[in-house]
């Protein structure tokens, strides 16, 4: 897998590079380290940034470096499109004040929204990845949530975990513990509705063959590989809040979430939970698309 690792010479980029080093070791292909300079006058500074990055990435087998000139987010997105990368790793580079954030937006958020491949936003301590929280809603598109996978009507792509294992499984070193989390934010719509499933744990959901239970069964099958410890978990409450609570409580090294849905009407009508999580999580986030 080709990995694009970005750095801007900021203090928090140490986290990005440390995390990138851990991920890139298993990539199997050269890792590209990219920095973006505002204009040609800053090229020399960009070279220095890359030199420092290479020192930190000394134990990564194969490294290429690249400087692009222009707007940081736009150039990272262009590079990720042109270079056909399998994964982009960016640092959290939020503008210092509200006005700057309003005018230019966060680089990492823009890259996550527009990059054609999965993106890791490095934040927090950025150490080795041994403990992963995978937040699976079970769907890429609306039809996929309701319709069994065997039917022709399942027109959209596979669920988050299937995409994760298809795109990024090679990066797993076989020693990770993965918690597959499903948040049930539903309540009963009326007083007469029987809500046993609203209080059930994952075992009961599987036993009762609920959509969530079926999802857990599929997830457990997909992640069945030597060395990987998988633990399904259900939480009840608001989706964003429960993911944040679980990330804190479990002290995970990486949180995996799905990207906001891309289809036009969905983009307008559906809440962008990925964006909220990206802003509020205090640890590395992998956004799978």
Partner 1 sequence: MQEPREPKMKAPIAAQQRLPTNGAQSLPGEGPARPVRPKLALWQKVNLRKIGLFVVSLYLFILAITLMKDGARGLAPFVRNLFSVNSPANALGFGWLSAYTIMSGSPVAAASLTFFDAGVMNKLETFAMINGSRLGASFIVLFIGFLYVLRGRNKATSLSMGLLSLTVTAIIHLPAFFLGLWLLHAGTLDAVQLSSGALLTSLTDLAIEPIVNVVTGLLPIWAVFLVGLGVSMVSFNLFDRCLPQATLKDSQVGWMSRLVYRPWVMFIVGCLITMISMSVSVSLSILVPLSARGFVRRENVIPYIMGANITTFIDTLLAAVLLKNTDAFTVVLVVMVTVAVISMIVLALFYNRFQRAVLTFVEWVTTRNRNLAFFMIGIFLVPIFLMLV
Residues engaged in binding partner 1 (CB under 8 A): 139, 142-143, 145-146, 148-151, 185-199, 237-239, 241, 269-273
Nearer to partner 1, 41 or 194 (CB): 194
Query: To the nearest whole angstrom, how small is the minimum distance from the Cβ of residue 275 to partner 1?
Result: 11
Query: To the nearest whole angstrom, how small is the minimum distance from the Cβ of residue 268 to partner 1?
Result: 8
Query: To the nearest whole angstrom, how small is the minimum distance from the Cβ of residue 211 to partner 1?
Result: 8
Query: To the nearest whole angstrom, how small is the minimum distance from the Cβ of residue 149 to partner 1?
Result: 7
Nearer to partner 1, 44 or 263 (CB): 263
Contacts of residue 184, Cβ cutoff 8 Å, sequence gap at least 6: 197, 198, 212, 234, 235, 236
240 φ, ψ (degrees, to nearest 5): -65, -45
Cα separations (Å) of 3 from 136, 138, 141, 168?
24, 26, 27, 11
267-275: long-range contacts, CB 8 A cutoff, minimum separation 24: 273/239, 273/240, 274/112, 275/109, 275/113
Distance CA 157, CA 164 (A): 12
Query: To the nearest whole angstrom, how small is the minimum distance from the Cβ of residue 118 to partner 1?
Result: 22
Nearer to partner 1, 42 or 276 (CB): 276
Nearer to partner 1, 166 or 238 (CB): 238
């Amino acid at each position: 897998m080709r990995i694009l690792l970005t750095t801007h010479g900021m203090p928090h980029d140490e986290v990005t590079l440390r995390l990138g080093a851990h991920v890139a070791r298993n990539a199997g292909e050269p890792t590209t380290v990219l920095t973006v300079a505002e204009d040609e006058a800053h090229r020399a500074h960009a070279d220095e940034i890359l030199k420092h990055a290479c020192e930190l990435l000394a134990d990564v087998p194969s490294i290429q470096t690249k400087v692009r000139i222009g707007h940081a987010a736009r150039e990272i997105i262009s590079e990720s499109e042109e270079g056909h990368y399998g994964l982009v790793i960016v640092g959290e580079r939020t503008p210092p004040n509200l006005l700057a954030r309003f005018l230019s937006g966060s680089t990492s958020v823009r890259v996550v929204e527009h990059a054609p491949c999965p993106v890791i936003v490095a934040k927090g301590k950025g150490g080795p990845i041994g403990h992963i929280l995978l937040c699976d809603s079970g769907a890429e598109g609306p039809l996929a949530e309701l319709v069994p996978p065997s039917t022709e009507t399942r027109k959209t792509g596979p669920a988050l975990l299937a995409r994760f294992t298809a795109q990024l499984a090679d990066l797993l070193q076989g020693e990770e513990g993965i918690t597959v989390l499903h948040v049930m934010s539903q309540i009963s719509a009326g007083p007469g509705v029987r809500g046993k499933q609203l209080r059930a744990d994952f075992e009961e959901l599987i036993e009762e063959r609920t959509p969530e239970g079926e999802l857990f069964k599929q997830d457990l099958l997909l992640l069945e590989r030597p060395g990987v410890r998988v633990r399904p978990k259900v939480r009840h409450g608001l989706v964003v809040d429960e993911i944040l609570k679980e990330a804190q409580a479990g002290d995970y090294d990486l949180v995996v979430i799905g990207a906001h849905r891309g289809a036009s009407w969905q983009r307008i009508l559906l809440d962008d939970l990925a964006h909220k999580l990206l802003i509020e999580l205090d640890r590395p986030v992998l956004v799978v698309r």
